[in-house]
Amino acid sequence: VSTQSTGIEPKKLGAEKRSVVEEKVVKKEENKAPSPRPTRTTRVKKENKQVKTLPKSEDRCQKLTDFFPVRRSKRQPLSKLKDLEYEQLKEKIVSKSTEGLEIRVMEDKGRGVFSTRHFERKEFIVEYSGTLISFEEAKRREVEYGKEPEKYGCYMYYFVFKNKKYCVDGTAEDGSYGRLLNHSKSGNVESKLVNVNSKPVLILIAKEDINPGTELCYDYGERSKDIIQSHPWLNQ
């Protein structure tokens, strides 16, 4: 059969077949859902694939201390400070410290103790030294001293330590300063009991800030009418 009898050219027939196929492909692509837009995570993953890994010596997080030096606090724990204060206090007691004090004689009171420097509130001043005796022995001595009150004066200090009564007898002249502090109900000094090597020790501390040249006094705490009658200055 010749091409002239049909009137169809081979090339044109092939083009029609291709157009039909292309039309089917277009329809198929139109039916497909649109491809999603790549998210930021997807882009980051793609970008990470292109990042080169660093050597182990360089591939590490920088610390803040690499740029700023570490500041070490000079403050000490409270327990350590208390231990230090106790050791300093113990040293003053053992050495019988009288630093910042002087004895003066007054016309109306006799001897007294004055400050020669500034004392801060709660600061150690001096130990009330004497003989540590039991409560029973103190009462016996008190009777003896009461027979000659003008000779012996009043130097007995009673207190309780670990549920037991004691007394520091400062009657004997031993050169200590604590026994010479005069009495005053509005004194600037107060007593404090401390434990040194498992033994009670009486010390006197500043009740308030004290300026140089001030007489140091504390309340003896004596309220017995008979004793006050014998020593009227105890009522001041």
Each residue's pLDDT tens digit, 142-200: 888 888 877 777 788 999 999 999 999 999 998 999 999 998 888 999 999 999 988 99
Residue that wins the pLDDT comparison between 110 and 33: 110
| Exposure of 154 in the CB half-sphere (CA atoms within 13 A) | 19
Cα separation of 21 and 166, whole Å? 120
Q: For the whole prediction, is pTM greater than 0.85?
A: no
Question: pLDDT band for position 83 (50/70/90)?
Answer: confident
Cα separation of 23 and 17, whole Å? 10
CB 129 within 8 A of CB 217: no
CB 71 within 8 A of CB 99: no
